[in-house]
Structure 1
Amino acid sequence: MILQNLQLLQQSPAIFALVIGIGVIGLVVGFTIHEFCHALAAHGEGDSTAHQMGRLTFNPLKHIDLFGFILILVIGFGWAKPVQVDPYNLRHGRLGMSWVAVVGPLSNIVLAFLLGLLFRFELLNTRPGFSNTEDILAFAVSLIIFYNLVLGIFNLIPLPPLDGSKVLGGLLPRSLYGPYLRFERHGWLILIGLVMANFLLSRVAGVNILGSVITPPLRFLFGLAAGPDLARFFF
């Protein structure tokens, strides 16, 4: 986030600080909602592990991993504290694990759509900016919508350890589940390699692999949530 906005820092340090501050709020809200919903879904499925670890709470300090949060602020990729789930306690087994996994990203998308109603009902300006308090508030809400949609979409990518991999694992035929588990143990290396390659390519050659994957559904969902006028302004 910080590296992506360095040009803004040169133009206006005050606006840069405002954008980063709003981004921090959006990410804290997004991570907290995301992990809380994982914990709530697991508890509803019969696994009390997360509840016993104090994760069934809206307290962001219980969900934020400091190092992962610093990384996402600096380079745009990081993580929260993963919610621990014992799959053997889940009432619906692998399908229960898929449900626990998918509600995290869905919670971010639902939150984005709820906030988008403020623009849909014209309670906020669809041309946000920094000229007055109303415009700044509109920009802040639109940025929180943006980051929550990014969190939701990115986590649905079916690569370990992202939620999408657990969703896919729970839906696979039993004959494929064993081989998939073996892949899942090492699949995170693919994700780390992809993120590192994406970071280098975007800096050296201006090629954003992850951006090309995430941006189309992001633009589509942003337009659905907050309306086409705000989407055109934002993208």
Structure 2
Amino acid sequence: MLYFLQNFEIIPFIAFLVVAVLAFAYHEFGHAIVADRLGDMTPRRYGRITLNPFPHLSLMGMVMLVIFGFGWAVTPINPSQLRGNPRTSHAVVAIAGPASNFIMAVLFAIPLRLTLGGYGILISDMPSWLAQFLFVFLNIGVRLNLFLIAFNLLPIPPLDGFWVLRGILPVDLAYRLDGLRQYGTMIFIVVIFLLPYIGISVFPAMNEFATVMYNLLVNWSPL
């Protein structure tokens, strides 16, 4: 997935950064717009109800992305201001981020299918460097957004999957789950960074999900 970050190549690296900015920003925009529609004005007060990607980004998260290939962004919300059941409303806000990434994956996949279909429908008259950039850009656009869906749906606080799981569990189990929140950062570090060193990793499953979905969006044909 991030092979080109370990084996530096300028065109894939630039394409990755552009896609990552869009993927992170519109993931957060998904959270912001749904929270706003459900009555929480916090994202609006922070200027997050905008398609401009930059207000959604974290400077430190982007610096970490450039250096280590791992970044983040955060949307401020106040779950107590959401209409309806607080748990389920928060879950709806949480799932909106991965849903936004799925929409983006589809939007990248459509021109990529056209490009792969004849490898020239979109890029035949372009300079070779631009054609290469576009092809890599679209390919990374699909793969990264699909990977972010799998990553963010891990049921680990503070990832979206935790809030989705909390929203669909029975009340008693949901409140038991709340006990994990205080250990969220520690659990996250252990699962994402430490367990892979002893051969226990969630990344193969996430990559498999991204690969299967990529093939469905880009390569699958009903004929």
Q: One-letter code of the match for 1:224?
A: L
| Aligned amino acid, residue 36 of structure 1 | F
Aligned to 1:66: 59
Whole-angstrom distance in 1 between the partners of 2:216 and 2:94: 24
Alignment partner of 1:8 is 2:1: no
- On the 8 A contact 2:5/2:69 being kept in 1, the answer is no
Change (3 A) 1:141 1:208: farther
2:4 is aligned with what amino acid? N
Matches of 1:181 and 1:7, distance apart in 2: 37
> Are 2:21 and 1:28 aligned?
yes
Unaligned runs of 5+ in 1: 10-15, 230-235
Equivalent residue letter for 2:27: H
Deviations 1:23-56, CA, capped at 9 Å, x for gaps: 1100000011111110000011111111111111
Name the SS of the counterpart of 1:125 in structure 2. Answer: helix
- What is the aligned-residue identity percentage? 30
CA distance in 2, matches of 1:182, 1:7: 38
TM-score by length of 2: 0.85
Q: 1:86 aligns with which of 72, 78, 91?
A: 78
Corresponding residue SS for 1:43: helix
Greater mean deviation of Cα atoms: 105-114 or 189-198: 189-198
Q: Distance in 2 between matches of 1:209 and 1:147?
A: 18
Deviations 1:117-150 (A, max 9, x none): 1233x2x13679x955334312211111111111
For residue 163 of structure 1, the aligned residue among 142, 160, 163 is 160
Give the counterpart letter for 1:143 in structure 2.
I
Maintained 8 Å contact 2:21/2:57: yes
Secondary structure of the residue aligned to 2:202 is helix
Name the structure 1 match of 2:116. 125
Aligned to 1:233: none
Distance in 2, matches of 1:219 and 1:181, equals 33
Q: Secondary structure at the match of 2:194?
A: helix
Residue 189 (structure 1) aligned to one of 174, 180, 186: 186
Residue 104 of structure 1: aligned partner: 97
Tell me if the contact between 1:125 and 1:135 (Cα under 8 Å) persists in the aligned partners: no
C-alpha separation in 2, matches of 1:30 and 1:58: 12
Give 1:70 deviation, angstroms.
Answer: 2.0
Alpha-carbon offset, residue 211 of structure 1: 2.2
Q: 2:94–2:164: 8 Å Cα contact kept in structure 1? A: yes
User: How big is the shift at 1:208?
Assistant: 7.6
In 2: Cα distance, 1:75 partner to 1:161 partner: 20
Residue of structure 2 equivalent to 1:232 = none
How big is the shift at 1:198?
A: 5.4
Distance 1:7 1:153, change over 3 A: closer
Given candidates 47, 62, 73, the residue that maps to 1:54 is: 47
Of 51-60 and 66-75, deviating more is 66-75
Amino acid at match of 1:189: M
Identify which of 108, 115, 122 aligns with 2:108.
115
Alpha carbons of structure 1 residues 176 and 218: separation in structure 2 relative to 1, 3 Å:
same
* 8 Å Cα contact 2:23-2:101 kept in structure 1: yes
